[in-house]
Chain A
Amino acid sequence: MRTRLLLLKMTLAACCLLALSGCWDNRDINHRSLPVIMGISRVDSKYKVFLMIPKSSQDGTQSMLVMRTGQTITEIVDEISSNMETRVDLLHLKVIVFERKYAEEGLTDSISSFMRSREISAKSMVAICDEDLEGFFHHLQDTSESEQMVLYNFFEKNAGWSPSVAVTRTWQIFRSIHSYTRDVAIPIIKSGTSTVIENVGAAIIRHGKMVGQITEDETLLLNAFGEQSAHGKIEVLNHASVLIVSNSMNHHVSMKDGIPHMRSQINLKVSILETRGDPSVDMIKDELDTLLTQRFNRMFKNIQQHEADILGVGQYFRTRIPRDKLAHWRTNYLPRMEMDLDVNTTIQNEGNLKTVKNESMN
């Protein structure tokens, strides 16, 4: 009797193993297509979706480009899915590329639906393409046979990312749409001539709409302002070119007669790479200071004009401005805001040569 009971229990326990597979209607990995890049454009109130799906074959991975038009993005993905022999799964989507025209019309709906669906990761990166998406994707496919993750690696911090590329994720855009004080910049790319892609700068996004553009150099300052590393960026001056080794920011805010003031200090540590002529350390510092300050002021004017706070400076005034007034930060405060930028440069080293003279020592 006891052995029989034990046997019964063991059979029951073994049956529990059946539940281990866990998933319902499970599809094996070879029956799934996992697109890495999705492109979205809008033509006459219809969406056009491009999917780049990596395919592994005997001669390495190759990518397949699928394209379709339809009313909604999900419908298109579903239709692509039903036309393919495998199921399209957006789980591993890494980069979403919007066409510039669509970005100018407004991304709010798309971004909200991405956040709503659990399928698309909230971490996926967003970029804007400055040319026709069809041409861009064909170019991407033609040139990227050897390395099909080009676009993803371009943004990846431990791969091809450079400090003058803005990195913006879906959730950050969603946050900016609903925030009083924070807008985002989305990187703008286009197909390059000698390299696969080319960084053009970043788009200023206000309430989910692209309203303006900043240049590649200004994006570097934007990243530095957001305390992202600007390491490895080379700045070319009249008399030298320097490599930024480290960067940090200090901010001071105050309110005077309802006008927000901000004094920011950017601390740069640089090392000298090349010199032209015989510049002194102070000269190089001065040149760098003027260059960055001018560039920053130009960008800040641009931002004020578009009433889009991509630097997130409004965040620093959360303690100074009451909440109900902060709701009008973009229109009432930002355009009148006064901003001072100090560039504090330390020349960490001069390379292997002792050529750079210090003025004070002469």
Chain B
Amino acid sequence: MNDITFLQQYWWFLVSLLGALLVFLMFVQGGQSLIWTLGRTEEQRRMLLLATGRKWELTFTTLVTFGGAFFASFPLFYSTSFGGAYWVWVAILLCFVIQAVSYEFQLRRGNVLGTTTYRVFLLLNGILGPLLIGTAVGTFFTGAEFVVNKAAVASPSMPVISYWTTPWHGLEAALVPQNLLLGLSVLLLTRVLACLYFLSCMADATLRETCRRRLRIESALFLVFFLCWLVCWLLSTGFAYTPDSGVIYMAPYKYLHNLLDMPVVAALLLIGVLMVLGGMAGGLCGKSRSFWLAGPGSVLAVLALLLCAGWNNTAYYPSVASLQSSLTIANSSSSLFTLKTMTIVSFIIPLVLAYIAWAWSALDRSPITAEETKEEH
């Protein structure tokens, strides 16, 4: 507990775990993006939205906690990325603002914007949320356009320590193909998971069959994009640093080496990918429990990828504008005292997971029926 290096690694693990859980829980977004694709009738659309409507707050909370945990453990990332890649983060936030009201308001009387407007909001959140988050996370491996200069605090006329070097404030990340590939992979993964989730909780046979057929297309597209990204990632030159001096340098095949240097992480990635594939295969065969194979699989795979971004002396938020400004878990973390305090708080996480599991099972005990959509909530 008194070793800051250990605590930095621990908090990178927790932040990565939250990120991985967020990707898994974004099956809610995937489901929203499929409202009109899967829901041929109003009744079906209501059933789909009831299914995701019970879970959206969990996804939302995970996003907020992910942000809070990043702020608390690696405040320099929070300060640099949010203040610099302004437009990307504002766009992501707006996507989630419109989601937050839509489930509650869409079917209420007196709804001046109309039901369709809120469903379009859900669709936008469903597509843009995962796409933008995936693209933004892509910069963890490809770099971003920022400069950090802590000495600026001693300059009263311009004391801001970090700034962006392009006027696009983060939107330029969408021009990097590798980032876009990751964004599309995340979007398609959420849609795959959504199809599997609907298979697990819907009573309606027609709707289940529609989900199963849709799963074929989404799975195929996901595999194409994800494999392209994975190959690029494994072959790419990464951003490494020397632990003693903190000097950042370019390292060929850095992420491939990370997997080789950290066999447990490599195993997590492999197991995760296999579980996602197994879940897809099970879903295509109509097995309703496949969601619980692919979902945890996606958590393991994303966790492994994010661990590769920050562990093994890797700069997790590289700067392509000023290499030595790149953020590592060593140069951007909170103090030893804060990390220790936060670590004690983190021991409560199993309790949180336990009551989430109870609530999840209590609500999903019986499959969703058309009758249930007529009840007032």
Q: Do A and B come from one complex?
A: no
